[in-house]
Amino acid sequence: MLTSVRASTRPNWAEVSLSALRHNFRTLQRHVGPAVTICAVVKCDAYGHGSEACARALEQEGACWFGVTSTDEGVALREAGIGSRILILVGAWRGEEEDALRYGLTPTVSRFEDVEAVALAATRIGRREPVAVHLKLDTGMARLGLSLSELDNFAQRIKAVHQVELEGVFSHLASAEVLDDVDAARQQERFNQALRTLASYHLHPPIRHLANSSATLGRPDSWYNFVRPGMAIYGYELPLVHRDGKIIEHRELLGLRPAMSWKTRVLSLRNVPAGQALGYNGAYVTKSPARVAVIAVGYGDGLYRKLSPGGYVLLRGQRAPFVGRISMDLTIVDASHIPGVEIGDEVVLIGRSGDERITAVDHARWSDTIAYEILCNLSERVVRHHVE
């Protein structure tokens, strides 16, 4: 079965394997064990994979929690028929609390004022049962979350707000992938101390979570009873490193499968002489006669300009380097060494062709960024096909 978000005649598309998503969810669930709940993070359109189709497949596989950034992302999932719990990781923006409650979303609170806003919204819509909220703590990332110095005051005050139930408490590790990082250890100890502080006020949130993908893969002591994998759900076992930046070798991999392939086609072929300038500003000049292919992709689709020079595509199972500057809609690759290339041939930007494979991690390395950004920056004009 194949479905697409919309029709397009431009030969530039992404294929998202729902079977790979399901495999990754099952693999991660086995890894953390039955006592730990997985909250599948599908924010930012499921990291570019298409949130509604991905959430539907994951829910069918047994996912009972999803993480989103904002109220509108959660509402879109509800309107797509997703019935599982949905946690708004950043919290409801001012004025959106009623929508969050009407759609059965679980708000994050980071200040007592957030609690008051949720309670008032519950009163306005006539809700009788308490609203479950999750408290985000700032344990050292200094981005969002309640300061630990304010936790005693928060705990005292929330006990008097009967419209709200403190169901969960969580924080976010700044360097989860650095396994011997002292700051991550300090963050976890602060989190544990916060749990003890809440307990001293007879507050025992049943859900406690700290682990993102890297921590889910490599920090079992951070799992508590709830983990929030994002990139791992989409098949990326990102490198775990030591404090000096050295990658940890020989670690056991789980066998996650990258769910997305990104493809285009050859639009044009031409033979050019030595000394021919290619593309804008003549940034690349051929050193010898070459056969170059123009492909239907550019930075308007999310292909990073920094990929040229240094990056590759796969064409007929072989690597073909980018040559010349990547433009908005078109890119040139050198196909001189690949026999039999024809107009219309499939070109793999991310994915497998023959024995060769390119991943978002490769794109990130070639363009000096992170795999998260590569996937999330895939343009809306790249049609997503969700395949079984």
Active site residues: 43, 280
Cα(150)–Cα(165) distance, rounded to whole angstroms? Answer: 19
Sign of CA dihedral 298, 299, 305, 306: negative
Are the C-beta atoms of 166 and 135 separated by less than 8 Å?
Answer: yes
Rounded to whole angstroms, how far apart are CA atoms 324 and 276?
11
- Cis peptide, bond prior to residue 107, ω within 30 of zero: no
Q: Is 305 exposed, middle or buried (0-12, 13-18, 19+ CB in 10 A)?
A: middle
Give the count of alpha carbons within 13 A of 251, CB side only.
18
Q: Of all helices (H) and strands (E), which one includes residue 121?
A: helix 112-124
| C-alpha to C-alpha distances, 29 to 39, 56, 216, 378, nearest whole angstrom | 10, 17, 10, 28
CA distances from 371 to 31, 223, 363, 366 (A): 23, 23, 7, 11
Rounded to the nearest 10 degrees, how much is the dihedral formed by the CA atoms of 290, 296, 302, 307?
0
Q: Which residues contact 339 (CB under 8 A, 6 or more apart)?
A: none
